[in-house]
Chains A and B, each alone.
Chain A
Amino acid sequence: MEIQWPLAIFTLLAGGAGWLLVWSCVNQLRGTVTDDKLFSRELIVIAILAICGGISSAMHLSHVDRMMGALSHPASAIFTEAVMVGLVVLLCIVFLVLLRRDMSAGTRKALSIVGIVFGVVISFATGSGYMMSSQPNWNTLLMPLSYLVTASAFGSALYLLFVDTWKGDEAAHGKAVGEASKYALVTGLVAAVVVVIYAIAQGVLSLSGEPALFAVCFIGCLGVAAVGAGAGKATTGIALPSVGVICGVAASLGFRCFMFAAGTSLLSFIATPDAANHFFATI
């Protein structure tokens, strides 16, 4: 199937926003970095990523003006994704408002737990919509799971970038970088393993053109893990975390492109006809 770039970019950005939210909220629960300015910057970037993702998704549509019709079918995957983007942005706004009003520790903890749930759910939901019986290569739980783990690798790299470039208390900084680098190391390795399992289980590496896309994804996953391993040893400034973000994009976007390239309909008589079978092509 042709790569649907607006959808690939939507799920890249929404998933990245989700997992940056996850780690930012985990930090709120752990209390490693207590600088609300850093948290505010993270929340603003999360909201921007989610909104840009939503805009990218809308670029895929021909009649955005009819989108309100989605209210008539609230169980559809597209509606679920739109709601999740809206909820993530809303949570960021609520957090930002409450940060300015000295929210209580209890509220901070409760909203952080909500943020972690939203972050995980949005990265899974953007992939679960592709599970359909008409697409045998997509119709597996490994599909949304791969969306989730590659998004977690990208989100971890983003979080590492934020933490590593944060100028604050030296002890807290070192501890935070150590935690963020562990997140990157673990999510990168887990993502690499899960996408390999998906590719093997579905047998989708044999088709032409796909190994290159899979390689981009796999190397990106390992890149995030390597950056995580390297960043944990020393404060490195912006260079290494930036490489991590690039690897995160490669992991996440690479998988989404690979998935579209691996998409083959059960049967395709008219939409993408097999020319060899058409009367005029063979007579």
Chain B
Amino acid sequence: MSHYAIVVNADLCTGCMSCEVSCKQENGVALGQYWNKVLRYTQGTFPDTKQFWLPTMCQQCEDAPCVNVCPTGASYRNEDNIVLVNTEKCIGCRYCMMACPYGVRSWNEEIKAVQKCTLCNHLTSVGEDPACVKNCASKCRYYGDLDDPNSDASKALAAADPETIHHMKDVGNHPVSAYILTSRIGSWEWD
């Protein structure tokens, strides 16, 4: 089974927001809403401080709580095992937003449905990279099937020191997306 996801090398992220902007532009994400958001974190106290950026998005959980709680099957996995939302089936109960451990789903007021990162499925299904990956100025985002050792995402993880590879806190949902962050740049606080 494939596990498509985005890997982010937070060591290289400069916080330019290109991914955030290109995601909104590519997917027509409404004003004030995000499918991908870059957060800034500062650690330590002056003068011994560290600062880094953390791009956040759907973590493509292996046992996705959003899919499990959706009463209509609007949140589902496609044939490539990617977690998606069929807004035509969404009844707007927002139960998936409560169930998402990372709060990475957003409510589209206009269509009255929940939306989230689709890994730019319309692009990736025809062999392209997601918009955020294509437009990343510091080339710190990698997309691909983590079960395929030849994918960009797998190569990025293979090249990294295993101790620098992190995932979001796992409460039984098994997040697939991964982050690379060395202690020199910042301390991982989310596991």
Interface residues in chain A, defined as those with a beta carbon under 8 Å from any beta carbon in chain B: 1, 60-64, 66-67, 69-70, 72-73, 76-79, 129-130, 132-135, 263, 265-274, 277-279, 282-283
Contacts and interface: CB of A to CB of B under 8 A. Distances in A.
A132 B99 contact: yes
Interface stretch (B88-96, B120-128, B129-137, B149-157): B88-96
Contact of B40 (A72, A76, A135, A282): A282
A271 B172 contact: no
B89 A66 contact: yes
Bin chain B's interface residue count.
Answer: 35 or more
B98 A263 contact: yes
Contacts, number: 129
A282 B51 CA distance: 12
Given A70-B71, A134-B171, A278-B40, 17 more contacts: A1-B98, A61-B91, A62-B112, A62-B113, A63-B90, A64-B91, A69-B73, A73-B71, A73-B73, A76-B70, A132-B98, A134-B98, A134-B101, A267-B101, A267-B103, A268-B103, A273-B39
A277 B171 CA distance: 23
Nearest to A267: B102
9 tightest Cβ-Cβ pairs between the two chains A and B: A62-B92, A268-B103, A69-B72, A62-B112, A269-B56, A133-B171, A271-B103, A78-B71, A134-B101
B82 interface: no
Interface of B: 15, 17, 34-35, 37-42, 53, 56-57, 65, 69-74, 88-93, 95, 97-107, 112-113, 168-169, 171-173, 190
A86 B103 CA distance: 33
A205 to B, nearest CB: 21
Given A61-B93, A62-B91, A270 B37 contact: yes
A132 B38 CA distance: 26
A142 B105 CA distance: 27
Contacts of A66: 72, 88-91
Nearest to A274: B39
Most buried by B among A79, A130, A268: A268
Nearest to B89: A69
A135 B90 CA distance: 22
A63 B91 contact: yes
A279 B89 contact: no
A130 B91 CA distance: 18
B99 to A, nearest CB: 5
Most buried by B among A63, A130, A132, A273: A63
A66 to B, nearest CB: 5
